[in-house]
Amino acid sequence: MELKKINKKGSIEDIFFLIVTLLGLALFLIVVAYTIPQVTDGLAETDINNSEAARFMFAESDNIIDKLDPVYLIIFSGLIISIFIVSFLIHSHPLFIPIYILLMGFAIIVAVIANTVYDQFAANADLAATAAEQPFMVAIMNNFIPIITVVGVLSMIIIFAKPFQGGRV
C-alpha cells in the first residue's frame, strides 16, 4: 500500500475560511443569546414547568449565555494561531506573491462585506442589546477589517520569507 503525500493547502484560503467562520459564528451566537432567554422565559411561565428541576434548568440555560462570548474569543484565537502554523509549514515559490496579494485584496473586500452584514444584523432593534452584551465579539467585529489585513499580511510574510529550497515549493 502506497502512502499518499498529504496536499498541504493553506495560506490565502485560510483567510477566507477565517472570515466566513467568524461572521457565521458571530451571527449564530447572537441569535442563540437572544433566543435562549426568550424560550426559557416563556417556558417558565407555564404550570407544567413549575418544578425545582425545571427552574434549575432554566437558570443554567440562562447562565450559558455568559459563556458564549469567551468561546468566540477562543475560536478566534485558535483559528489565527492555526493560520500561522499552516503558513509556516507551507513551502511556496516567490513567484506566487502577486497572486497572493491579489487574492488578499479580494479577501479584504469580502471582509468589508462580512463586516457590513454583521453591523446590519447587530443593529436590528431586537438583537442590538444582545449583540452589545458580547464585548469580545463586538471588539473583534468592530476591528474586523484591520484584523483580517494584519493576519493576511503576516501569513504572507511567514509563507514567503522562508528561503526557497530547490525543488521544494
Instruction: Please tell me the total count of domains within the chain.
Output: 1
In a domain, 145, yes or no: yes
pTM of the model: 0.81
In a domain, 43, yes or no: yes
CA distance 131 to 99: 37
In a domain, 20, yes or no: yes
In a domain, 7, yes or no: no
In a domain, 147, yes or no: yes
Q: What is the pLDDT of residues 96-147, one digit of tens each?
A: 889 999 999 999 999 999 999 999 999 998 889 888 889 999 999 999 999 9
Asked if the model's pLDDT at residue 17 lies above 80, the reply is yes
Q: What is the pLDDT of residues 29-38, one digit of tens each?
A: 999 989 888 8
Range of the domain at 129: 12-160
In a domain, 6, yes or no: no
CA distance to 17, 118, 135, 158, per residue, from 79 (Å): 9, 19, 19, 16
Mean of the pLDDT values across residues 86-96? 84
In a domain, 4, yes or no: no
Dig out the grid coordinates for 61 from the structure.
Answer: 440555560
In a domain, 165, yes or no: no
pLDDT band for 26, please (50, 70, 90 cuts).
Answer: very high
